[in-house]
Structure 1
Amino acid sequence: MNRTRPYLKLSTLSFAVLCASFSVCAEENNNVAVTPQGADPAVKNLSTLTFQAQAEAPKDPDISAVAKTIVTREEMLQFGDQSVNDALRRAAGFQIPTPGQGPRGGGGASGMRFRGGGAPIFLINGEPVQGGPRGGMSIVDTLTPDMIEKIEITKQPSVAQASVSSSAVINIILKVPLDDKRLGGTIRAGYGVAQSERKEEERKNLSVQMDGRDKAWLYSLSANQMWNDTTSVTKTQTANQTREQKRVTERNSFMFSPRLEYELDDQQKLVGEIFYRNNKSDGLTGDQVQKDKNDSIRLNTRYERKDKGDSDKIRLSVEKQNETESTRSSQLNTYTDETVNEYGFAYDGVRKFGETKQIKFGVDTRASELESNITDTLDEQRYALYSEGSLRFTKRQTVTLGVRQEWVQRSGLVDYSDQHLSPVLAHRFDFTQNWSLQTNLSQAFKSPNSNSLSPTISVSTDSDAGSLNNPDRGGNPNLRPEKISAIESTLGYNTASGGVNVTAFHRKIDDYIEKVIQLEGDRFVERPHNQDNATTYGVEVSGRYALKQTEHGHSFMLNGQLSTVRAKVEDENHQERLASDVAPYTASAGVSYNYQPWQLATSINVSYVPEFTRDLDNQPYTRTINERFNVDISMTKRFKQGWATTLSARNILSTDYKERLNNQTDGSLYQARINEAIPSVLLSLEKKF
């Protein structure tokens, strides 16, 4: 627990400061808009879905050299996005699983990966959000573009964010009233069907977003109800036999979120918001019946003060989650009931000294309790202090230096205490108005969360459940924290019409946490384990070009990205191998075309993942995952009086997901499974009022 390997010592950081004048910073833009650091994104006319000139920079822009990408609600509607994941799929570095593919389906926020690592940290209005105790559906999965003001993506470590070790923090800012009328909003209803040779799916959803203003009071209400019924057939194969098994799943998800704000004066306001969600899933596979339920309620309250460039924010939060899982069959009968109670207090402050100096500082404290009907209670307390200073020492150069001190204490299931210091150094230099380069150095520690520590087993489904190719899942109470050293640099050329960004990154991780499959009794179980170390590195290239609306009403946008990543793992025996579930690269491209006279917006997005083969840890087999190709299409037609309809086609021309395990000695087949890709069509009707 106490052993440390400080890769980036103070001398290294001091040397980096001396070398900072050779570095340059660019706002990395992997989506449809590039905004200078702290600037408002490009203004668009939502009714016509066209682009105007770059918005004027605010009076008090953020001076920080840490790069940030902004995705606005208008941009999500421009691309026909139906969810947060739809917006993030165009961002370089993110690997998002296709719904219905993979051993357990996946496709939600909890299944997302960033640069070959774990899932990014999600925030809503600056507050961390999570799924169930063992990875249930997150609030993020129920949000629609109508509920969102913008999405802020920070891909580099920042001590002011929820986790300096994540390297990817996604902050979702919820929508505020667009004007001063007492009530306005959007009602959207959707119906979708999906069908392939052996799969069929019916999807229905209804969402409501309302907001308004009455003098000093601002209020909003968001609600989303989804029904998803799926019938699928999974094909499994061994050297001796081939089996197909039918699975019927009924999912029901509901999210309800009221929010109330009161403006004390021009500088101060009070905010209160509630998030309630309820998710149910009933599945039938052969004689195995699976019933999962996850419900939670979270209360966030905030006091905010802004005075020119200075600001203060006090946040209080309370959350209660309950997750149950029941599995019944002729061979198995399990029931799990877990509850999480969490309490949080945080303060964030910003002070500016002229136009060239800025300091951010704050404190974050959280206490949580995980209760289970199977294991001991896990109590956890986390405390953090951070400070970050930014200096613009020339018109073209900015340097940011920050440090975060964290303490973690656990009791009950795990008796553990630790503390660590995480420094971050970022530097930015603009060669010209268009050319820039940014570099970020960081050292961080990442303590395992309660989901990873709880040993409770979640039983898998299908005919090969509990096999090496489809194992059960569980946690590991003996995990040690990861120790991470990272460097990242982005070279960019950006104009009002578009640009290209090239990012190179390298991360070295001691005590790397990897999911390892081992035989426990007569079933295989996948649990996180500490490997000796790991190294991830790669290059990302992203580009964008936008043709603003012409005199005849045409507008056009093109974006694309290529993300490469190589993740090498070294075990305690100093044997090196590539991480088993990280693709060597991903590529995607999107085209959007709008014709204003017809109020018609169309888009098409294409993604590709190559075939790759990896060795399994401590197993005499290799796993091969086939290459996958996917096409998504959407079309939106707007009518008078606020009516609109959207037709979305997902997974068109998609490739089936195939996993194959072969013996390393002779290459013979051990196990294989195929999840058939299922193209879907969703028709949505909306009315603005």
Structure 2
Amino acid sequence: MKNHIQHITFFLVLIFTSVSQAQNIKITGTLVEQETAQPIPYATVAIFNNDTKKVITGTTTDDNGKFNVAVPNANIYFEVSFMGYKTKTINKFSVSNNKIDLGTVQLASDNQALDEVVVSGEVSKTTFKLDKRVFNVGKDISSTGVSALEVLNNVPSVNVNIEGEVTLRGSGGVQILINGKPSVLADQSSNALGTITADMIESIEVITNPSAKYEASGTSGILNIILKKEEKQGWNGSISANTGIPDNHSIGVSINRRTEKFNLFSQFGAGYRSLPRDTEANNFNKTSGKTIASIGEEFRNESFFNITLGTDYHLNEYNVFTLSGNFAYEIEDQPSETNFSSFTESNLDSRWIRKETTEATNPKWQYEFNWKKTFKNSKDHTFQLSALGSFFGKDQSSLFTDTTVEGENVDSNQRTATNFQQADYTLKADYVNPISKEYTLETGVQYVINDVGNDFEVENFVNGAYEIDEDLTNNFEWNQKVLGVYATGAYENDAWGVKVGLRVENTDLNTLLTNTNEANARNFTNLFPTLHTSYKLSENFSLQAGYSKRIFRPRLWDLNPFFNIRNNFNVRVGNPDLLPEFTHSYELTSIYKIGKASLSSSLYHRYTTDVVERVSTFDNDVTYTTPENIGTNATYGFETNGKYSPAKWLTFNGDFNFNYFDRKGTFEDQIFDFTGSQWSTRLGSKIGLPADIDLELNGNYRSGFETVQGKQSGFAFLDLGLRKKIFKGKIVANLGVRDVFASRIQERFVNQTTFSTYDYSLRGRFITFGISYGFGKGEAMTYSGRRR
């Protein structure tokens, strides 16, 4: 509290002291840590009058810990302070030639203050901006060694199902960005988000109504993942090792070196993990009375290696260049075994075992160049140019064998081979001009190229030899180019703000099945207006409102027409003829504080046309699930989330989301008009225990909901974690348990006139233990490598 009062007094004096006052004595010095002799930047040096004890003037240290200031006379004393260090008073010095050289001033760490900082900073929290919410990722214990998908699962408004599909307020079509730009690491179709670990994430921006500055993709909004980049001078870093059940073993190193001109950063990771999954399915033919039932276990075993290298070069205080690259290589082994049974009425026709052996190698790399120019008149007056390129490849082969155990002989073998390559390129320029204190203009352009080739082959074992199945073999080429231009204008004062914008996007999409020469080309241009406003009624209560128009362009895995034949009686296939969804989104949000609690609540409405739904059809006892455009969806929802800290050692946080939807549409002469609702809630707590141990509990519940052909069940699950700090936090040990009761079960029911189906999926319980060591100025970061 004493430091806060001194800082406030110091800044008031700076504002009201006349700049014309004579200042004749020059004061210089350098501030460093007592333990490491590393410079301390941005610390406060306050100068007091010896008689009145009031602040005369002051300054802050630069990046190298140096400071200089002038005073009118030598009847003074100094107080040097910085958060996490003991304040130092200097009242003995000498004056020579109107100069005071304090030399090297050492500050000792304030262990008590450091502990308080760590406690307050470890719980993830949400802050609010004019057009977005920012979820600052703390060191949540249950997130030890987990991927970005699991971190997203702890973000208010966001849900991630067992399949890794990300939804925002219960709706799909989420655009995921990395550091504000598209990235191969954010590609949901390749499960690439699993390559980003919790320890690499600084914050996640939840943008339910994005401004025109952002790409219009994502009908339910945007999630922007901001990655960490160490900014402390000198050598900093962390070494981590993790192990877990099922197999989840990794080592990781994060190193950073910052100087006045350069910031060099690197990360290295390697490991092995196994992802088991239990499955169950039933297909019932209501016409013939025949049932195909299956139960099995699948694995995805992965060995991985990755390296990230990058540098920021500060040409001067107005120009910064960033060049970075990442390379990762993964080796997959996917064994599975499924037991099938075929019944007619209650009579067993046949029972057999289908085994799969799949091997794959996945190289991926990404490179980025970024130039940011800051203009001299304002630090917020900027121009930024970036170029991003990425590649993801998969060379995969699979062998499927069917072995009859009982009844009718159904023995058969199949082989598949996949050669997949995806290249993405993004060019982006953004200009921000704060015309005045209240008015800001933003404009920019973005050009995105997605180029994909997927050569897929299926062979059947016939008469002692493998023969190509021409109906299931083809080469799919997908090329999409999107050009976007935007402009926004904003006015914001202390109480009220408004931001309007318009984005124009042209989409050029081409798909081609080369073996059968089936081509599909589309070219369309759309306008995407946005409007945001906020009003601060008091220090404890604010309102926000927003509108945006969004687009969901079908992704590769929605369009790709190839069959997944792991379970050849429950087949998923894409649809090259899918049209994009368009959504009009409206939102009203209140933000308020009540005592020790901070809360926000939102009312929202979304209206979507050409909704993409997964539709099941039935043919010869096989269920085919394909995405189709079916009608419209009007959603009305309420969401609230908040945080409450009744004591320093106890914090609660949670959120609740409810929405009602009205679906209208037809498919193949069948009417899909119905209404329904779904809701989810989450409650987390962090408890400080003796001996520097923390306990964390996070409980989740997601309700079931109706689909166009049936329903999906709800489920509840609990995560917990324990953390122990050693040597003042330089070493940290974590124990995390995801899905403690193995209750995160996904069930899908389809009930139609001629058939019904049931699908069950369970990932199970995951236990991880990690230990990490931070060196230099780095803290133990529990970095666990980058994983798929």
**TM-score of the pair, normalised by structure 1:** 0.79
Which residue does 1:365 correspond to in 2? 447
**Of the candidates 402, 409, 417, which is equivalent to residue 335 of structure 1?**
417
- Partner of 1:395, secondary structure, is coil
- The alignment status of 1:608 with 2:694, answered yes or no, reads no
Kindly state the Cα deviation for residue 628 of structure 1 after the two structures are TM-superposed: 1.5
Equivalent residue in structure 2 for 1:504, among 603, 606, 610? 603
1:385 aligned onto 2:485: yes
The corresponding residue for 2:737 is: 649
Q: Give distance in 2, aligned partners of 1:519 and 1:497.
A: 56
SS at match of 2:151: helix
Deviation at 1:472, TM superposition (A): 2.6
- Which residue in the other structure is 1:50 paired with? 119
- Could you tell me how far apart the structure 2 residues matched to 1:242 and 1:376 are? 32
Specify the alignment match of 1:536 in structure 2.
635
- Once the two structures are superposed, residues 415-444 of structure 1 have per-residue CA deviations (whole angstroms, 9 ceiling, x without a partner) of 111101100011111111111111111223
Instruction: Give a deviation string over 1:662-689, Cα, whole Å, max 9, x none.
Output: 75679xx944444456222211111111
Q: Deviations over 1:208-252 (max 9, x none)?
A: 211111331111112333422355554445676865434444223
Of 260, 271, 289, which residue of structure 2 is paired with 1:215? 260
Cα-to-partner distance string for 1:394-432 (whole Å, 9 max, x where unaligned): 532111101100011123523111101100011111111
Partner of 2:194: 141
Alignment match of 1:559 (pick from 634, 642, 653): 653
Could you tell me which residue of structure 2 aligns to residue 175 of structure 1?
228
Q: Does 1:456 align with 2:562?
A: yes
Q: Which residue of 1 aligns with 2:471?
A: none
Which of 133, 136, 149 matches 1:71? 136
For residue 684 of structure 1, the aligned residue among 770, 774, 787 is: 770
**1:599-636 deviations in Å (ceiling 9; x for gaps):** 322210000123445451xxxxx3452x3221111111
Aligned counterpart for 1:261 among listed residues 285, 295, 312: 312
Q: Does 2:154 correspond to 1:90?
A: yes
**Aligned-residue CA RMSD (Å):** 3.2
In the TM superposition, residue 577 of structure 1 has moved relative to its aligned partner by 4.1
Could you tell me whether the CA contact under 8 Å between 2:184 and 2:391 is conserved in 1?
A: no
2:247 aligns to what SS in structure 1? strand
Label 1:353 to 1:571 Cα distance change in 2 as closer, same or farther (>3 A): same
Partners of 1:145 and 1:656 in 2: CA distance: 21
Residues of 2 paired with 1:341 and 1:94: CA distance? 28
Q: 2:538 aligns to what SS in structure 1?
A: coil
Kindly indicate whether the alpha-carbon contact (under 8 Å) linking 1:191 and 1:683 is maintained by their aligned counterparts in 2: yes
Residue type of the alignment partner of 1:575? I
Q: Which moved more, 1:267-276 or 1:42-51?
A: 42-51
The structural deviation recorded for 1:356 is 0.8
Query: What runs of 5+ residues in structure 1 fail to find an aligned partner?
Result: 1-41, 54-60, 99-105, 194-200, 550-554, 617-621
Which residue of the partner structure matches residue 22 of structure 1? none
Return the letter of the residue paired with 1:537: Y
| CA deviation after TM superposition for structure 1 residue 206, in Å | 2.0
Structure 1 counterpart of 2:439, one-letter code: K
Which residue of 2 is the match for residue 416 of structure 1?
Answer: 522
Give me the whole-angstrom Cα distance separating, in 1, the residues matched to 2:650 and 2:117: 13
Q: Deviations over 1:304-355 (max 9, x none)?
A: 1234221111001111221244332234322222212222211011110222
Match of 1:128, SS?
coil
Q: Classify the secondary structure of the residue corresponding to 1:309.
A: coil
Q: Which residue does the alignment assign to 1:375?
A: 475
Alpha carbons 2:332, 2:360 under 8 Å: kept: yes
**1:287 and 2:369 correspond:** no
User: What aligned pairs does 1:518-597 form with structure 2 within 5 A after superposition?
Assistant: 518-519=617-618, 523-547=622-646, 549=648, 555-572=649-666, 575-577=671-673, 584-595=678-689
What is the aligned-residue identity percentage? 18
- Does 1:303 find its partner at 2:371? yes
Structure ID, larger Rg: 2
- Aligned counterparts, 1:343-362, within 5 A: 343-362=425-444
| Cα distance in structure 2, aligned partners of 1:365 and 1:612 | 38
For the residue of structure 1 that corresponds to 2:149, the secondary structure is helix
Q: Is this contact kept in 2: 1:375–1:456, CA < 8 A?
A: no
Give the secondary-structure state (helix, strand or coil) at the position aligned to 1:353. Answer: coil
Q: Secondary structure at the match of 2:475?
A: coil
1:191 aligns to what SS in structure 2? strand
Aligned partners of 1:203 and 1:563: how far apart in 2? 33
1:448 positional shift: 2.5
Residue 128 (structure 1) shift: 0.9
Counterpart AA for 1:202: D
**Greater length-normalized contact order (CA 8 Å, ≥ 6 residues apart):** 1
Which moved further from structure 2: 310-319 or 246-255?
246-255
Task: Name whichever of 438-447 and 355-364 sits farther off.
Answer: 438-447
- Aligned twin of 1:637: 724
Paired residues in the alignment total 597
Distance 1:368 1:569, change over 3 A: same
Contact kept? 2:151, 2:198, Cα under 8 Å: no
Which residue of 216, 226, 236 corresponds with 1:184? 236
Find the aligned partners of 2:143 and 2:763 in 1 and give their Cα distance: 23
**How many angstroms does 1:517 deviate by?**
2.4
User: What letter corresponds to residue 671 of structure 2 in structure 1?
Assistant: Q
Change (3 A) 1:400 1:134: closer
Supply the AA of the counterpart residue of 1:129.
S
Q: 1:385 to 1:516 in 2, by over 3 A?
A: same
Per the TM alignment, residue 447 of structure 1 is displaced from its structure 2 partner at its CA by 2.8
Equivalent in the alignment of 1:125? 179
For 1:213, give the aligned amino acid. R
Q: Distance in 1 between matches of 2:205 and 2:310?
A: 20
Cα distance per residue 1:514-570 (max 9 Å; x no partner): 222234676433222111222222111112113564xxxxx3211011111334432
Query: In 1, are the aligned partners of 2:616 and 2:625 still within 8 Å (CA)?
Result: yes
Deviations 1:16-73 (A, max 9, x none): xxxxxxxxxxxxxxxxxxxxxxxxxx999588622289xxxxxxx99x731322314x
1:482, distance to aligned residue in structure 2 (A): 1.7
More displaced 10-residue stretch of structure 1: 437-446 or 228-237: 228-237
> Is the CA contact (8 Å cut-off) linking 2:746 and 2:760 kept in structure 1?
yes
In 2, distance between residues paired with 1:396 and 1:485? 28
Specify the SS of the correspondent of 2:316. coil
3-state secondary structure, aligned to 1:209: strand
**What is the rounded CA distance, in whole Å, between the counterparts of 2:750 and 2:229 in structure 1?**
54
**2:212 aligns to what SS in structure 1?**
coil
Hey, what's the Cα distance between the residues in 2 that align with 1:185 and 1:142? 20
Q: Does 1:628 align with 2:715?
A: yes
* Structure 2 CA distance for partners of 1:515 and 1:224, relative to 1, 3 Å: farther
- The TM-score normalised by the length of structure 2 is 0.70
Gaps of 5+ in 2: 1-82, 85-112, 285-290, 338-353, 401-411, 456-473, 513-519, 776-788
Q: Please state which structure has a larger fraction of its residues in strand.
A: 2
- Supply the AA of the counterpart residue of 1:389: G
* Superimposed CA distance per residue, residues 91-115 of structure 1 (whole angstroms, 9 cap, x where no aligned partner): 33212124xxxxxxx2x4xx21112
> Shift of residue 289 of structure 1?
2.1
Aligned 8 A contact 1:49 1:594 in 2? no
Quick one: distance in 2 between partners of 1:381 and 1:614?
A: 32
